[in-house]
Copies of this chain bind each other. A is one copy, B any other.
Amino acid sequence: MAGEKTGLQLLDFWVSPFAQRCRIALAEKGLAYESLPQDLSNKGELLLRVNPAFPGTPPLLPADPFARAHARFWADYAEKKVFDCGTTLWKRTGQAQAQARPEMVEALRTLDAELGDKAYLAGEAFGFVDIAVVPFATWFLGYGRLAEFSVEEVCPRLLAWAKRCGERESVAKNLYPPEKVYEFIGYLKDTYGDK
């Protein structure tokens, strides 16, 4: 397949289940593409450009396999539970919105319990899981107002943790105040929410 119609290029590897998924899906959709077989033991310029790696920089994930899996689990939890449930809160109305309320409270309580008395979700030092979860913290205020619960009562340790994370320059410079995020949630609701 020449790919002249779609412009799609697949960085391909014959036996990779991930490449195979793409090939099957493209075939099911009838989309032409250009297969670019990759040498994974000697990565080419295009593969490295779209998957850049910077081995000289500080690693964000822990070295220990169990700790890595743990960090990924909680990053995934925030993404799947907190974000998806939050979207239901601003986007939907009635029954769907009402069901999302206890789910959000439960998700925040679970994250609060996971943090416990640790300084960071990653442990003593700020790490991958903190980076992955802290952006959602700027949305908590909005979630609490939409679902009419007190974030301070539901997840007090998580709020203290978010403030602690905010003392790092990397976080302080790249997040926005919860009030500004709440204004944005109002815009989302007005523009894209169910009427």
Contacts from A to B (Cβ < 8 Å): 6-8, 14-18, 20-21, 23-25, 27-31, 41, 49, 52, 54, 57-58, 60, 79, 83, 131-132, 134-136, 138-139, 169-171, 173-176, 180-181, 184, 191
Quick one: which of B8, B79, B180, B181 contacts A52, CB cutoff 8 A?
B8
Contact at B83–A58, with CB atoms within 8 Å? no
Quick one: which of B14, B28, B30 contacts A131, CB cutoff 8 A?
B28
State the CA gap A29–B127 with chains docked (Å): 11
| SS class, residues of chain A in contact with chain B | helix
Contact at B27–A170, with CB atoms within 8 Å? yes
Residues from chain B with a CB closer than 8 A to the CB of A14 are: 176
Given A28-B131, A54-B31, are A23 and B174 also a contact pair (CB < 8 Å)?
Answer: yes
